[in-house]
Amino acid sequence: PQGSEEAKAFVHAVLKRSMPQMKDEAIQDMLTRKALVLEYYPKKKTKQKRKKVKGFTAKQRRELRLFEIEPEQQRYAIFLPLHELWKQYIRDLCHGLRPDAQPHMIQSKLLKADLHGAIVTVTKSKCPSYVGITGIILQEFKHVFKIITKEDKLKVVPKHNNVFSLETDGFISYIYGSKFLLRASERSAKKFKLKGTIDL
C-alpha cells in the first residue's frame, strides 16, 4: 500500500497529464478543496429492438396437426380425471353450488366458464342424428364441440341448431348453441343478455 505522500504525488501526476493546460497552482488548489469532478462521456447504448414472437398461422397449425387427438388417445376413461377437475373448478367458481344458490347466478357463471372437461348431452337438434350424444368436451372451437363418448368415439358436434344440457351436482343448465358461437377466450369477456329469443 502506498503512503499518503506517494498517493498525493500520484494524483498530482495524473491530473498534470490529464490537464496539461492547467498550472500547478490551479491543480494544487483543486486538491486542497478536495472536490474534483472528472469529465466522463458515457458511450451511447444502442437499443436493441425486440423481435416480436409470432405464433403459428392457422394453416401452419393445421399442417402441424396441433389440435388433433391421436386415435390411441381417444378413450373416454383417459379423460375422466379431466372431468373431475372440471367439476371442482365449477364448484369453486360458483362457491360450492349450494342448494340455496340462485339459478341465474350459476347460469351467468357457466356462460363464461371453461367447458373443457364438462359432460354434455345433445337434447335438441334440427339434425335428429345428434340427439342423445353424450360425452366429455375435449375441445371447444367457435362453431363446434369435440366430444368423446363412452363408446370411445370422438364426435364433432356443431353448436348451431343444437341445444346441449350440462349437469353439475344436480343443477342442470342448457346451452343454446346458436347463441354460443364464440371461442372460449372470447366468451369469457362477453356480456350475455339475460333475456332473449330462445330457438334452435
Q: Do 86 and 181 reside in the same domain of the chain?
A: yes
CA dist 147 and 140 (Å) reads 9
Q: pTM of the predicted model, to two decimals?
A: 0.65
- Domain span at residue 87 reads 74-189
Judge contact between 119 and 83, C-beta under 8 A.
yes
The pLDDT of residue 13 is 82
Q: Do 81 and 180 reside in the same domain of the chain?
A: yes
- What is the tens place of the pLDDT at every residue in 35-88? 555 565 567 777 777 777 677 887 888 888 877 888 888 999 999 999 999 999
Show the beta-strand stretches assigned E in 22-161.
Answer: 119-125, 134-140, 144-149, 154-158
Q: Do 87 and 179 reside in the same domain of the chain?
A: yes
Q: How many domains does the chain divide into? A: 2
Q: Do 25 and 80 reside in the same domain of the chain?
A: no
Exposed, middle or buried by CB within 10 Å (0-12, 13-18, 19+), for 155?
Answer: middle
Q: Do 83 and 152 reside in the same domain of the chain?
A: yes
Q: Do 84 and 20 reside in the same domain of the chain?
A: no
- What is the tens place of the pLDDT at every residue in 150-190? 999 999 999 999 999 998 887 888 888 888 888 888 877 77
Judge contact between 114 and 184, C-beta under 8 A.
yes
Q: Do 15 and 96 reside in the same domain of the chain?
A: no
Residue predicted with more confidence, 131 or 63 = 131
> Domain for residue 51, yes or no?
no
> Domain for residue 198, yes or no?
no
Across the chain, mean pLDDT equals: 82
> Domain for residue 95, yes or no?
yes
Residue predicted with more confidence, 30 or 25 = 25
The pLDDT of residue 40 is 58
Q: Do 11 and 93 reside in the same domain of the chain?
A: no
CA dist 194 and 198 (Å) reads 11
> Domain for residue 49, yes or no?
no
pLDDT higher than 80, residue 98: no
> Domain for residue 200, yes or no?
no
Q: What is the CATH number of the domain that holds 165?
A: 2.30.30.210
